[in-house]
Amino acid sequence: MSNTLENIAITTIDGRDTTLAEFSGKLVMVVNVASRCGLTPQYEQLEALQKKYESRGFTVVGFPCNQFMFQEPGSNEQIAEYCSTTWGVTFPMMDKVKVNGRGRHPLYAQLTKTKDADGKAGAVKWNFEKFLVTPAGNVMRFRPTTKPDAPEVIAAIEANLPS
């Protein structure tokens, strides 16, 4: 993972300060998530990816975001409870962040420079935009409507697993 991304401060959903260096050597899928979105069922596919590939050096990292039609209004505690009880989420969840505009989290300031399959960089379009960060620091971007288990996502995961 590139030092630029690796050294950006992040906070876990339970308030612990860390950085992406905690996941050094892993293939990391960074996703902005929301509990009240039409795309919320993607949690099920994200968790399936986590279970299938975590032993091979892969992890999903969820970043709750309330910027899209206020679809993540809860507290960190409520979000953690919802994800655990409704979707059985076991992957790491972080503190609620802004992914666009003023106050955008520094991680997303970096990630949004990455172009998608259509060659477009820039703002996160909606909840459940996915950024796949390789151990070498390369980033691939998948827009919200691309499901976590889409063939192109699975191919990118399998081509970049560290072990």
Structure token pair of residue 148: 């976590």
Which of 10, 20, 30, 37 is flagged as catalytic?
37
* Contact call for residues 9 and 109 (beta carbons, < 8 A): no
CA dist., res. 98 & res. 100, Å (int): 6
Cα 64 to Cα 36, 53, 117, 155, 157: the distances in Å are 11, 22, 24, 26, 22
Secondary-structure percent of the chain, ordered helix, strand, coil, rounded to 5 = 30, 20, 50
Q: Which residues lie below 8 Å from residue 124, measured CB to CB, with a gap of 6+?
A: 32, 65, 99, 100, 108, 112
65 is catalytic: no
CA dist., res. 114 & res. 39, Å (int): 22
Active site residues per annotation = 37
